[in-house]
Amino acid sequence: MDRAQAWKLVQEYVKSESLRGHMRAVELAMRAYARKWQEDEELWALVGLLHDFDYERYPDPPLHPLEGEKILKSLGVSEEITYAIKSHADYLPECPRVTRLHKALYACDELCGFITAVAHVRPEKFTGMTASSVRKKMKSKGFAKNVSREDMERGAADLGVDFDEHIQFVIDSLTPHAVELGF
């Protein structure tokens, strides 16, 4: 599956512009990490883009992402992609995060959601956003309360990157695309 086919699938399954934006943000962060570590950018970006494509139809665990896996497999998508997507679900112990790809998806998923939430409430949006400004918002338990702070921190630790550096890296990967992301 190439990027154009993946985007067509996203458009078919995801009606929420917010969820599409989240998936696009994760795609961008994953592509940036792949570039940094000289990994397969297209593969990593596809995993980021497709990781939640089934969520609107199958929001309840473990249907998400297991129903998505069935759909992707029926379209000939590789096991490498489907396994990586399944590995971002903590409630699937049979799919541990083993590779850097798996760990990067987990590390970027919640953090992208949180960073975009922070951008929504800042007058300057992404401009001038820093890891410390994101950390400050993390202390507010009522802000983006459905985003797990523990998952964000665990994701960076599992990926083997400093949490503040990870936050800044993701901010920097999203900032050039702020308009496209709706900011």
Q: pLDDT tens digits for 149-176? A: 999 999 999 999 999 999 999 999 999 9
| Token couple for 19 | 């969820």
Question: Is the distance from CB of 72 to CB of 50 less than 8 angstroms?
Answer: yes
What's the pLDDT score for residue 162?
Answer: 98
Residue spans per domain, the chain? 3-177
Interatomic CA distance for residues 127 and 42, integer angstroms: 27
Helix (H, G, I), strand (E, B) or coil at 50: helix
Question: Is the distance from CB of 80 to CB of 43 less than 8 angstroms?
Answer: yes
Does this model's pTM top 0.75? My answer is: yes
What's the pLDDT score for residue 159?
Answer: 98
- Domain 3-177 coded CATH 1.10.3210: yes
Q: What are the residues whose beta carbons fall under 8 Å from the beta carbon of 128, sequence distance 6 or more?
A: none
